Amino acid sequence: MTVQNHSGVGHNIIGDYYDQLAKHPSLLSDVINVLSSSMDEGAIEPLDQLDEIVISEKIAYNNLESFKEYIDDFKIFQGKIDMIYTVAESNGSNKKSLILRSIREKYLKVKAELLPKHQMEGDTAIDTLRRCAGEIFLKVQEKIRNQIITSNNIAVPQEALDLALGIVIVDAFIRCKIMEAPL
């Protein structure tokens, strides 16, 4: 006689799948947890005018005008995430460097995947990138979200995750870890 180790139809296949995925902690999840627990009006710091100009130039250069409002909504939190990175580094951690490198790696992989699909005859690489910039931006964000939700150390509601993820993505954009810097 065979012993059945599950309750029958469907077993817990989905649960087992997610249990296998969520085995590794993520430094990015740690930052998301801290960011989401400290989201208040005190976290908002306006950028100086020079930063505003540089960000606007980068948006235009990468053809991300459709994301301008999104970037504007989250760029005001750059001081908050920078403070979190500074505290981590003062404790001897290299979280900031590892996180930003990880985001950059995801961007480069997405870019390498999408540019050949959108390449048109006579295009330069930047022409092609500009044509699919929104798709690249969203796909990088999706990859980062997947990394976070499959980690075993994320402990925030979905809404807080969405806000904190927006802050991280826009910070990476401003630091030129995703998309290209104007020449």
DSSP state, residue 46: P
| pLDDT higher than 50, residue 5 | yes
Average pLDDT of the chain, as a whole number: 85
Helical axes 27-37 vs 158-174, angle rounded to 10°? 110
| Confidence grade of residue 47 (pLDDT, cut at 50, 70, 90) | low
| pLDDT higher than 80, residue 41 | no
> Do residues 177 and 136 lie in contact, with contact meaning Cβ atoms separated by under 8 Å?
no
| pLDDT higher than 60, residue 150 | yes
Could you tell me the sign of the dihedral formed by the alpha carbons of 45, 49, 55, 59, in that order?
A: positive
- Distance, in Å, from the CA atom of 13 to the CA atom of 15, rounded to the nearest integer, reads 5
Q: Give the pTM.
A: 0.82
| pLDDT higher than 50, residue 145 | yes
Could you tell me the sign of the dihedral formed by the alpha carbons of 4, 6, 10, 13, in that order?
A: negative
User: What mean pLDDT comes out for the span 20-42?
Assistant: 75
- Distance, in Å, from the CA atom of 56 to the CA atom of 76, rounded to the nearest integer, reads 14
- Distance, in Å, from the CA atom of 33 to the CA atom of 23, rounded to the nearest integer, reads 17
Decide which of 126 and 25 is more confident.
126
